[in-house]
Amino acid sequence: MSSFKDVLNQYDWDKTMLSILSKTEEDVKQALHKNKRTLEDFKALISPAAKSFLEEMAQLSSRITKKRFGNTMQMYAPMYLSNECQNICTYCGFSLTNKIPRRTLTDEEILKEVAFLKAKGYDHVLLVTGEANRTVGVDYLNNAIQLIRSQFSNISIEVQPLDQEEYELLIQNGLYAVLVYQETYHREEYKKHHPKGKKSNFDYRLETPDRLGKAGVHKIGLGALFGLEDWRADSFFTALHLKYLQKTYWKTKYSISFPRLRPFSGGLEPKVEMTDPDLVQLICAYRLLDEDVELSISTREREVFRDHIVQLGITSMSAESKTNPGGYTIDKQSLEQFEISDERSTETIAEMLKNQYLEPVWKDWENDWVSMTGFK
């Protein structure tokens, strides 16, 4: 197998859906009682038949998460560098056709945003941009990483997919993790939502984690955007992707995120709704499939939901996020990529965690080690 594309091509979307929907309560019980669970068990755990086992799944997921991660929660903050984008994505506020003022942060502005996040206590930062290769290509990203490198222990990016050599350059200069969501694993639906721009190339995006694995990145974040297609099938393919990557690039760490479609300027109604119980079921199912994968929740979710989900399997979260470039200090009113739901301050979130006997962890990496990486 040269990439995950070869694996995915062996699957049929409709048959996969049927297989998930036909799982029985007996399949769920069997999955719950195993020590090691397979992808077939995962199908049972995300199936409608598992709905009546939600509490049992949550109890188990909570216990396993505590065993592996302890009473801790990794904290990170996103920092949007640019909302320029040459893609058309039907669900995104940064979409090319959306007539909004565009802004890309200068060095000075980046440092101002950094100062704000550092004062809040953040030591892990996630840099986010749209896809505009001329303005926010690899040179811009490389400059930004080098500019802020000494300030953070852990720098991640969520930007357009890059070539392997480009990732190698960024890793060499201080990049720790890359988050790249497939949005949907359904080829035809993907095409509908990404009609123009480089992002319309499904395979190039699908093979991004392979390029990252080959480049020797420390962590890869995966996920699907819930709302574009059926969440169950998309989650199964995400899990399939995860298992393939873990076996192939075994030195790399993995995380899963759970973005649900949120309102934005010029919005798209979700085709498939994912309810709160659905999301809880999915988070627990991932934990039962894999004890070690990091599970991350953003401020897209509302307060009450986040207050409870931190006990059920989640291991990292953001707080007080702004999804517009310069949103913390420069241009608070500029257009957001999407609206956030939980607007509480970092201090309030940290307090909420402490009240639940969870320690917010601000530093869990040593940035000086990154460029030491001498292997792939």
Name residue, tokens 């470039």.
325
**Residue 36 is a binding residue for another protein (CB under 8 A):** no
Alpha-carbon gap, residue 301 to 289, rounded angstroms: 23
Q: Are 219 and 255 in contact (CB under 8 A)?
A: yes
Alpha-carbon gap, residue 255 to 315, rounded angstroms: 9
187 vs 219, beta carbon nearer another protein: 219
Q: Draw the binding track, 200-239, toward another protein (x: CB under 8 A; -: no contact).
A: ----------------------------------------
**Residue 352 is a binding residue for another protein (CB under 8 A):** no
Which of 1, 70, 97, 347 is the binder for another protein (CB under 8 A)? 70
Which of 10, 14, 67, 134 is the binder for another protein (CB under 8 A)? 67
Name residue, tokens 């009113």.
333
Alpha-carbon gap, residue 317 to 17, rounded angstroms: 30
Question: CA 303 from chain center: how many Å?
Answer: 19
**Residue 286 is a binding residue for another protein (CB under 8 A):** no
**Residue 72 is a binding residue for another protein (CB under 8 A):** yes
Alpha-carbon gap, residue 368 to 113, rounded angstroms: 22
Q: How far is the CB of 31 from another protein (least distance, A)?
A: 20
Which of 2, 134, 333, 357 is the binder for another protein (CB under 8 A)? 357
Q: Which stretch binds another protein (CB under 8 A): 18-26, 167-175, 267-275, 354-362?
A: 354-362
**Residue 369 is a binding residue for another protein (CB under 8 A):** yes
Alpha-carbon gap, residue 221 to 209, rounded angstroms: 9
**Residue 14 is a binding residue for another protein (CB under 8 A):** no
Element (H, E) at 349: helix 346-355
Residues of span 237-276 touching another protein by CB under 8 A: 246, 250-253
Return the biggest CA–CA distance within the chain. 60
DSSP-derived secondary structure letter, 216? T
Binding site for another protein (CB under 8 A): 66-72, 123, 153, 246, 250-253, 292, 354, 357-359, 361, 363-366, 368-369, 372-375
